[in-house]
Amino acid sequence: MTHEIGVAVIGAGMVGRAHASAYRNAASLYDLGGPSARLVAIADLHEPFATDAARRFGYEKAETDWRRVIDDPDVHAISVAVANHLHREITVAALQAGKHVLCEKPLAPTIADAQAMVDAASASNDSVDAVGFTFRRSPAIAAVKQQVEEHLGPVRHFIGNYWCDYGFDPRRPISWRYQGGPGSGVLADIGSHLTDLAEFFCGQTVGVRGATMATLIKDRPRPLGMARGHAGGVALSDRRDPVENEDVCTFTSSYANGAVGTFALSRVAYGHANTLRFDLFCERGTASFDLNRPAEFGIVDDGPAQAGNGARTVSVGPWHPYLAGGLPMDFPTVGHGQNDFFTFQARAFLDQIGGLDRLPACPDMAHGLHNLRVLDAVTNATEKPAYVEESA
């Protein structure tokens, strides 16, 4: 087993910093017999971002050219955390160089790009390839999965909402997130997570119907500086560029087990910074999760006597997945959040590289390709609207 794995992160924006921090903390989780991470390099085209992240999270060096990271013999594993349209070139090059690769979701901007990445992974037999669906690492979501499998029974109806407000202000600058055509906006950015979670509970998607997409803010100003993640705060040009993809998306879906899904996605939902919520209506009960309260889940079932039965909230504790040994204080009701999901994911990725199977494996790039096919089906399900005619 490999005991020390040299890691690097390409991309020092919002999600890149989450990966960088995760590797630093991963070695402290669970049994200490697993491989540790040597924090080798952070790369970002914008040198101040790379330097800041390397110093902040304890990496040995900062780079401005991702190729130097791939050529570095001290680097064995790489997180690719850059704009979607850069995933293919970097990931394929890294796999061809024999690196293990964890690529952020969505895997690529197109199915063709994703297929090329899967092909490169298949040709690199000794490399671990993974895609970052971090919500599968949520202790509460994994606990709900246990309840479905052991008690609640198959899901009949999945209702999922993911609402953000990073795009509500028309003065927020244009970026790669607002470019790329229908389906590459809110659907790819956050809808990829929600469609993956639906399959986590319901199995494979077999159909999509009734998709609606709307671009509510038609253009955005050009930035005069570099912004990290969704942040504003940079000087803006007087010139505005068109927004090419959707701010809002709704659709329904069906699954191999007979379940149906209902989805609502928005990046212009004022007051909802990062609201992911789902409800599962199952054969023998109901369960729910809300990312605003990430260390708990809701459940209604036939366990309590009828006179005292009703909805109840369960605080996630060390008897639930990922919590025992997964936090410095793994005591019941001690909170955790989305950053911890990245750390749990990094631990699983390092374990895979080291040949351990004590944690569920990270989804591979073939899984990421499948997710893109689901998103493509949503885009293709956009129907011509039917208008209501009033009588004369």
Task: Name the token pair of 193.
Answer: 């997570």
User: Would 205 be classed as within a structural domain?
Assistant: yes
d(CA 166, CA 355): 39
Residues in the chain: 392
Residues 114 and 189 in one domain: no
Q: Is residue 266 part of a domain?
A: yes
One domain for residues 127 and 143: no
pTM to 2 decimals? 0.94
- Give the containing element (helix H, strand E) for 112: helix 111-123
- Asked whether residue 391 is assigned to any structural domain, the reply reads no
Q: Which domain holds residue 264?
A: 139-293+295-335
Residue 256: CATH number of its domain? 3.30.360.10
Which CATH number covers residue 18?
A: 3.40.50.720
**Are both 119 and 153 inside the same structural domain?**
no
Can you give the pLDDT at residue 125? 85
Same domain, 182 and 317: yes
The count of structural domains within the chain is 2
Cα gap 78→36, rounded to integer Å: 14
The answer to the question of residue 330 being in a domain is: yes
Kindly state whether residue 33 falls inside one of the protein's structural domains.
yes
At which of 134, 166, 199 does a domain end?
134
Positions of the chain with pLDDT lower than 70, given as ranges: 1-2, 227-233, 384-386, 391-392
Do 247 and 216 share a structural domain?
yes
Same domain, 29 and 127: yes
Angle, vertex CA 185, rays to CA 182 and CA 190, nearest 5? 135
- What is the predicted pLDDT for the residue at 135? 98
pLDDT at position 227 is 67
Is 358 contained in some domain?
Answer: no
CA proximity to 143, closest of 313, 259, 366, 14: 313
Residue 357 is assigned to a structural domain of this protein: no
Predicted local distance difference test score (pLDDT) of residue 309: 74
Distances in Å between the Cα of 71 and the Cα atoms of 68, 74, 268 are 5, 9, 41
Last residue of a domain, one of 283, 312, 335: 335
